[in-house]
Amino acid sequence: MNLKTGIALSLIPQIILVKWLGSHPNWIENYYSNGVYSFLSNVFRFLLGWIPFSIGDLLYTSLVLLAILYLYKQGRSLFKNKLRFLRDIGMVLSVAYFTFHIMWGFNYYREPIAAKFEIEQTKEYQELVDFTRQLIKKTNNLQTSITKDTAMGVTIPYTQKEQFQKTLKGYEQLSKKHPFLNYQQPSIKTSLFSKALTYMGYAGYLNPFTNEAQVNGLLPNFRFPVVTGHEIGHQLGYSAENETNFIGYLVTANNEDVYFKYAAAAYALGYCLNDVRRGDQEIFDKLVSELNGGVKLNFQEMSVFWNQYENPLEPIFKSIFNSFLKANNQSQGIKSYNAVVSLLIGYHKQYPL
């Protein structure tokens, strides 16, 4: 009983310790992200990567069933022993908090990836507009080269397994230019909960306890390659969503396959157009008018996909995730996904489109 109470109470000093360590990103970068985490990540990917289905999804299912069983067995006594119930909850939270940070969570406090790329980020609106025009030209050219018809949408002809393999080749190619993005011991899978993820509005996730990268298996192929690259970016220890969006774009854009290049260009273009629209609707409308009809069809494909799964609970899940990100050193919360634009502009100043 004393041990359980001690574990529950240890949550408070754990939180203080995490916040203190998090104020030293150079320590996290050198000793955790490139040390402890790198070792643990490779071990778990080696142990579980060969299994064709998600062990992490099964783990979550087991934990939910155990929680239901606990409530069923203890249901009547919970009201009589409220302090014991609170202690048990505190104990579970304490163990989960400790495990989460050892296995993954400290990556939220590492040094920004912009420093590794030596990117000078910008928020100049005119630079955004100019870069978006370049992306439109590139996306249109790729779409035309594939379909030979500006009005036809691009259909990526690969299975999900083939796209996983092509993404791995993309990482091999990218690591020649940026060695710190070298990826070994792959563990990338479609989630057993893809339907649930879609209703929640998520394209994928990294299981922090098993280090399996999960991709929503229902995603249209138009988006599948970049999301795969994004989730592997998380496996490499990059936690910020704008950074893994950036990595997902880079690895897909650097792929030798023209379909992947198109998927990457369209992905980046979508974020840039969103930022343009927030600044000036008239400029946005003008830029959209420059898109090939086939590119518009692909964007519409994604819109139709997500719209058909809209439900009243999705905003709640998004709100929970937003709070989770803010609690883990991402002050912009879910809006941090859009912060990829400044990384894109800064990177392509060094490496023109």
Whole-number pLDDT of residue 77: 72
> E-strand spans in the chain?
188-190, 204-207, 212-215
Q: What is the mean pLDDT of the chain?
A: 91
- Among 109, 137, 154, identify where a domain stops: 109
Both 51 and 35 in a single domain? yes
What is the DSSP track for 128-154?
HHHHHHHHHHHHHHHHHHHHS-TTSPP
- Among 74, 109, 144, identify where a domain stops: 109
pLDDT of residue 332 exceeding 80, the answer is no
Residues in Cβ contact with 264 at an 8 Å cutoff, skipping those fewer than 6 apart? 225, 226, 249, 250, 252, 253, 255
Residue 257: left if φ>0, alpha if ψ -120 to 50, beta else—which one?
beta
Both 30 and 103 in a single domain? yes
3-state secondary structure of 119: coil
Both 166 and 302 in a single domain? yes
Both 257 and 148 in a single domain? yes
- The pLDDT confidence band at residue 337, using thresholds 50, 70 and 90, is low
Share of the chain above pLDDT 90, in %: 76
- The pLDDT confidence band at residue 335, using thresholds 50, 70 and 90, is low
- The pLDDT confidence band at residue 321, using thresholds 50, 70 and 90, is confident
Whole-number pLDDT of residue 81: 77
Both 155 and 223 in a single domain? yes
Domain, as residue range, for 319: 113-350
- Among 109, 130, 159, identify where a domain stops: 109
pLDDT of residue 348 exceeding 70, the answer is yes
- The pLDDT confidence band at residue 1, using thresholds 50, 70 and 90, is low
pLDDT in tens, 116-175: 998 887 778 999 999 999 999 999 999 999 999 999 999 999 999 999 999 999 999 999
Both 97 and 153 in a single domain? no
Give the separation between CA 138 and CA 263, rounded to whole angstroms. 11
Number of compact structural domains in the chain? 2
Both 132 and 231 in a single domain? yes
pLDDT in tens, 35-76: 999 999 999 999 999 999 999 999 999 999 998 888 887 777
